[in-house]
A and B are shown apart, each in its own frame.
Chain A
Amino acid sequence: MRRLPPVAQLTVCSLSLVVTGGILMASYVPRQPPLAVPAALTAVSAVLALASGFLLSRLEQFAWPRFFLAFRWALLAYVISAGMIGFAFVRDHTRGAPLALVIVMLVIYALDVPLVIAFTVARYSSPPYASS
């Protein structure tokens, strides 16, 4: 079996961190949450997502057309999902730095999920599973 870089594992770790940060933020609503820990989790999550994207970009003999097909449809779905979550925070009067942090978390979330879906779909359409 062909060994691929740990794109899915890194992305799921990134997603876990951003979900944890989101839970920390949400647990303080309607008060102003302390931002240090959620910001640190978000930063590490962003680094993992970037590392995942970097490793992915170096792949050769990969089913890129299938990756992008899955990625763009999943992205559409998760942008809507992230938009709804963001709407709930805005509706609940989250403003300033907490809102900015929530938006960064939602951007990571909306990229992580399509990335892991598209990577999983494309890896099984790439050699040795397919000759594309």
Chain B
Amino acid sequence: MRTGVDMAGVGDVQAGTVEGASGPQRWRVEVVPLRGLPVVAAVVAFVIASIAGNWLWALTFCHVAGGALWTAVDLFVGLIVGPILGRLPAAARAEFTARFMPKMVLLMPTLVLMTLAAGFQLALKEGNLAPGNPNHAWLIASYCVVGVMAVIALGVLEPANITVLVEMRKQRPDGQVIAALMRRFIYTAGITGLMQVATLIIMTRVATQ
């Protein structure tokens, strides 16, 4: 569904209020790409079925595939795409953001849900949560890491992400608002990157004990 306001001129967002639809490029910003929702629903249904059936392969698949994508996307965006984006002209940055962020609105929560729900069930099934298990302490550490990432993602980044998209749907997006909100991603990139590296260390320890 494409119901947004014309986005021509959004490239000027860093310079302040964007002037109306006068540029050559005209597209509409979607906050949530509705065409992706059936895919999300299918993934969620698959995760629920895996947990309900306690199906080892499916739980492992959801946890490993979801976790690998989550960590890789987070690190790639934070360490590679982010710095490149920061050096692009404002017009290119705004255009990229308007196309990229709606996809992240669906992708990241789905990967997180898939990874955590399947991972918890998998740990339980494999006996890793038993107090005497050598992996128990590592898993508690991973809960703490995930807790920090969850609060940053849900309380800081997701509101900023959605607000940027809503701002970009306006006929005259305010560049200062967008720039201020995008700064949140820069400030938290270091913490998120550190937490993801910690996750990699913890999970490789758990898998090899």
Contact = CB atoms under 8 A, between A and B. Distances in A.
B124 to A, nearest CB: 6
A39 interface: no
B129 A120 contact: no
Interface residues of A, number: 37
A121 B154 contact: no
A111 interface: no
A116 B47 contact: no
Interface in B144-202: 144, 147, 150-151, 154-156, 158-160, 162-163, 166-167, 174, 177, 181
B151 A84 contact: no
Nearest to B146: A23
Contact of A84 (B44, B130, B150): B44
A84 B158 contact: no
Contact of A27 (B140, B151, B159): B140
A108 interface: no
A63 to B, nearest CB: 10
A77 interface: yes
A80 B156 contact: no
B47 A84 contact: yes
B52 interface: yes
Most B-side CB within 10 Å, residue of A8, A12, A88: A88
Contact of B129 (A30, A85, A119): A30
Nearest to A119: B159
Most A-side CB within 10 Å, residue of B48, B130, B151, B158: B151
Given A26-B143, A88-B117, A92-B124, A12 B156 contact: yes
A120 B162 contact: yes
B103 to A, nearest CB: 16
A54 to B, nearest CB: 19
Contact of A113 (B44, B124, B140, B158): B158
A42 interface: no
Contacts of B143: 23, 26-27
B159 A124 contact: no
19 contacts: A12-B156, A15-B154, A16-B155, A20-B147, A29-B120, A74-B162, A77-B109, A81-B113, A84-B117, A87-B51, A88-B117, A88-B121, A91-B51, A91-B121, A116-B154, A117-B162, A119-B159, A121-B162, A121-B166
